């Protein structure tokens, strides 16, 4: 029973962290762009990059960048969960073989 609870704990933590990482990555990138935008001469460049990031997110979110970010985060969460299940399966196979 402890193996199953360890697996569930690992799976839940993987899902949560895999969901949060893209949000922090995109948010940190946009924050960095806004900070760099305060440097004279770089306002137009950082604004263009931020606009393109928003258009990219809107592509995945049916026109809404926030929904696109959630879709990407859910996809990363799903892939992280699949990877965690694969690692658990491989661990079980390798433990039986040895």
- Mean pLDDT per segment of 10 residues, for the chain of length 98 residues? 86 96 96 93 94 95 94 97 93 76
Nearest to 23 by CA among 89, 58, 69: 69
pLDDT of res. 98: 63
Q: Is the pTM of this model over 0.75?
A: yes
- What's the CA angle centered on 24, arms 23 and 29, to 5 degrees? 105
How far is 59 from 74, CA to CA, in rounded Å? 15
How far is 63 from 5, CA to CA, in rounded Å? 40
**CB 19, CB 76: distance < 8 Å:** yes
């Amino acid at each position: 029973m402890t193996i199953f609870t360890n697996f569930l704990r690992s799976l839940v933590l993987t899902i949560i962290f895999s969901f949060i990482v893209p949000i922090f990555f995109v948010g940190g990138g946009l924050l960095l762009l806004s900070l760099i935008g305060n440097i004279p001469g770089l306002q137009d460049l950082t604004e263009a990059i931020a606009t393109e990031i928003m258009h990219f997110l809107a592509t995945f979110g049916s026109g809404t960048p926030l929904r696109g970010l959630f879709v990407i985060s859910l996809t990363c969460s799903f892939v992280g969960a699949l990877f965690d299940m694969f690692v658990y399966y491989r661990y079980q196979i390798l433990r039986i073989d040895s």
